[in-house]
Structures are given as C-alpha cells and as structure tokens.
Amino acid sequence: MEGDRTDNALRRIDAALARLESAAKQTPAPASDPSADAELAARHEALRATVARSLARLDLLIDGEQA
C-alpha cells in the first residue's frame, strides 16, 4: 500500500519535471538590453546604500539601548 503511494508520487514528480523541462526549452531567453542592465545596476546600488544606512541607524539604536 505504501509502495503504491510512493510510486504514484514519484510518477507525478517525474511528470512535473518533464513539463518544466519542456517549458524551459520553449521559453526563449530574454534579450539583454544594455540600458536596462545599467538602470538595474544603478537601482541595485541605490538600494544597497539605503540598506547600509538603515543598518547603521539600527546599530546606533541598539548600541544606545545597551548603554
């Protein structure tokens, strides 16, 4: 009984993997747009800077509460 459930689950997993592989082969890779890449890089750097400032402020708050 347990073997049947396991076999059924494995068949379903194999079928799902086959569908994923088929979809991956049919989906073309997006064309790289240099201006979009540059914009994304700039946004990423701005986000990193914002996060760094926020973490620094949190560090100050934590240090102030521990003093």
**Given pLDDT bands bounded at 50, 70 and 90, which one contains residue 31?**
confident
pTM of the model: 0.47
| The token pair that represents 22 in the structure block | 């088929």
Q: Cβ neighbours of residue 20 under 8 Å, at least 6 residues apart?
A: none
Alpha helices in 1-67 (DSSP H): 2-26, 34-66
Q: For all residues of the chain together, what is the average pLDDT?
A: 88
- Measure the CA–CA gap between 41 and 47, rounded to whole angstroms: 10
Question: Any idea which residue has 């201006």 for tokens?
Answer: 35
pLDDT tier, 10 (very low <50, low <70, confident <90, very high otherwise): very high
Question: 13 Cβ partners below 8 Å, 6+ apart?
Answer: none
Give the mean pLDDT of 14-29.
88
